[in-house]
Amino acid sequence: MKMRIDIMTIFTNMCESVLRESIVGRAIKEKLVKIKCHDIRDFAYDKHKRVDDSTYGPGMGMLMKAEPIYLCFEDICKQIKKEESFENQHPQKVIYMSPQGATLTQQKAKMLAEEDNLIILCGHYEGVDERVLEEIVEEEISIGDYVLTGGELPALVLVDAIVRMIPGVLSSDECYKDESHYSGLLEYPQYTKPSLWHNKKVPDVLLSGNHEKIKTWKKEQSMLRTLRKRPDIFKDYNFSAEEKEFINGQKK
């Protein structure tokens, strides 16, 4: 097993149903990653199994209580320690999915794919009692500047972005290295059969069989697309002298 991810949530079914599908589901079946969803409610020991309560101070809404989350976290740590293959690892890297966190990027997902284990906390209601965040959370990650109802969808986005970069999950590393954002550029346009559709032809170079020319075309198209669609990331890319010359030629 290469990696273990534990998700703390009050909607385990929602997470598990997504995790069963597609590439992540296959990676779990092939034991390239172990993902466990833990119901925070199992650690709410009052008679109504309440995981939320009203906030202190004036204000609307409910907040997730600290104690059930903390007990759930402790239980995960115990489970991780018990499993032989993880006994020397540090299970305490907890990520809280939050609209207040740093926005998720491909680079961040790549770094997290190198961890042995991660624990992800999904909030709900108005969020989570600040004290448990201070106690266990190392990092807050957002999936964008908008507010969702709960941390489950963001957690699933994060897990998907990480798992596809675990070695062996995709057929080759090239699959994700060629994709948008990995190198700092967007991916070139792609085509499949037939070569002529609605009077639109696949670019000749792609049918030429000349691998060197195709490689150059792909790089040029990546640069042009990024310039056109995402000038904000284009300006941060580290171009070689040759690439700069090509771009300047296009701008003339």
List residues binding ligand SAM (CB under 6 A): 97-100, 122-124, 126-128, 142-144, 146-151, 154
Min dist. Cβ of residue 160 to ligand SAM (A): 14
Reduce the DSSP state of residue 85 to 3 states and report it. Answer: helix
- In the structure encoding, which two tokens stand for residue 185, read together? 């550029």
Q: CB of 87: closest distance to ligand SAM in angstroms? A: 30
Q: Report the residue number, 5 or 227, with the smaller CB distance to ligand SAM.
A: 5
Quick one: how far is CA 52 from the chain centroid? Answer: 27
Q: Which is nearer to ligand SAM, 76 or 143 (CB)?
A: 143
User: Cβ closer to ligand SAM: 40 or 165?
Assistant: 40
Q: Name the residue with the smallest CB distance to ligand SAM.
A: 123
Q: Which residues contact 54 (CB under 8 A, 6 or more apart)?
A: 61, 62, 63
CB of 163 to ligand SAM, least distance (A): 18
Residue 186 is given by DSSP the state: P
CB of 54 to ligand SAM, least distance (A): 14
- Rounded to 5 degrees, what angle do the CA atoms 81, 86, 90 make? 75
Rounded to the nearest 10 degrees, how much is the dihedral formed by the CA atoms of 205, 211, 212, 217?
40
- Nearer of residues 98 and 180 to ligand SAM, judged by Cβ: 98
